[in-house]
């Protein structure tokens, strides 16, 4: 019922001001992941959520090399584990706003955590705009920061379908939402003065920007997306 109410609820102004970032760590070679990948399509379609699917590479050894996997995604997941003092990483894992982790195929738990983060007060005003082949990132702090925020630019593919021939999901055709193809740091920002930075972002792929604590492995204070 909580899941139904979440997706049925109208998007309020707060959603537009501070969307919740949900990162799904998944793999084409993980038999527990397809249910989470399917649910992730619903999250990706919710206006109050920025959904980003990051495919890890540590499942590749069992017979199927994930066509979207990147060592950088595995490194990011391990950085989250280290920041939370966890010894292990797993799939499917959803990390909510860089802070809380949830098993990705447990929709009710995921929705509960998202709803909690939706209620947090806005701490940074963030706006994105296109300027030709570039994106202009503008931000202003609304409170005293505890430390600098890492400004990260993310490119992603809205939907990709893969026919998996080997491994635990052999014979399945799976659709993946918002597959991350690039994530790069644009530097750090301490909030003492407004931020204004331009980054190259050519092509048609959507762009997201995350302003995140702890060098990119902590709470995401603000995020925005350009389709």
Task: Please check the confidence at residue 1 and state whether its pLDDT lies above 60.
Answer: no
Flag whether 63 is in a domain: yes
Flag whether 85 is in a domain: yes
pLDDT band, very low/low/confident/very high, at 18 (cuts 50, 70, 90): confident
Flag whether 163 is in a domain: yes
Residues in CB range of 170: below 8 A, 6 or more apart? 63, 64, 164
The answer to whether 16 touches 47, Cβ cutoff 8 Å, is yes
Flag whether 53 is in a domain: yes
Flag whether 4 is in a domain: no
The answer to whether 133 touches 28, Cβ cutoff 8 Å, is no
Nearest 5°: the CA angle 92, 48, 185 is 65
- The boundaries of the domain holding residue 75 are 20-226
The angle that helices 107-118 and 33-44 make with each other, rounded to 10 degrees, is 30
Number of independent structural domains in the chain: 1
What's the predicted TM-score (pTM) here?
A: 0.93
The answer to whether 208 touches 156, Cβ cutoff 8 Å, is yes
47-103 confidence digits (pLDDT tens): 899 999 999 999 999 999 999 999 999 999 999 999 999 999 999 999 999 999 999
The answer to whether 61 touches 200, Cβ cutoff 8 Å, is no
Flag whether 5 is in a domain: no
């Amino acid at each position: 019922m909580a899941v139904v109410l979440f997706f049925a609820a109208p998007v309020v102004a707060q959603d537009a001001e501070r969307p919740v970032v949900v990162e799904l760590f998944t793999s084409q070679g993980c038999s527990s992941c397809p249910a989470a990948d399917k649910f992730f399509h619903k999250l990706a379609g919710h206006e109050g959520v920025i959904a980003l699917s990051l495919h890890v590479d540590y499942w590749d050894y069992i017979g199927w090399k994930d066509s979207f996997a990147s060592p950088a995604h595995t490194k990011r997941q391990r950085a989250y584990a280290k920041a939370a003092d966890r010894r292990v990483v797993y799939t499917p894992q959803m990390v909510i706003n860089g802070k809380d982790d949830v098993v990705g195929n447990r929709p009710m738990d995921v929705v509960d955590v998202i709803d909690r983060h939706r209620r947090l007060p806005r701490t940074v005003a963030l706006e994105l705009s296109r300027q030709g082949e570039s994106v202009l990132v503008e931000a202003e702090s609304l409170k005293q920061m505890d430390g600098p925020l890492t400004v990260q630019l993310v490119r992603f593919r809205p939907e990709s379908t893969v026919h998996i021939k080997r491994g635990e999901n052999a014979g399945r055709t799976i659709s993946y939402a918002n597959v991350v193809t690039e994530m790069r740091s644009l530097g750090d920002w301490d909030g003492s003065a407004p931020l204004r930075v331009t980054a190259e972002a050519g092509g048609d792929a959507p762009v997201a920007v995350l302003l995140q604590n702890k060098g990119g492995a902590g709470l995401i204070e603000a995020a925005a997306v350009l389709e």
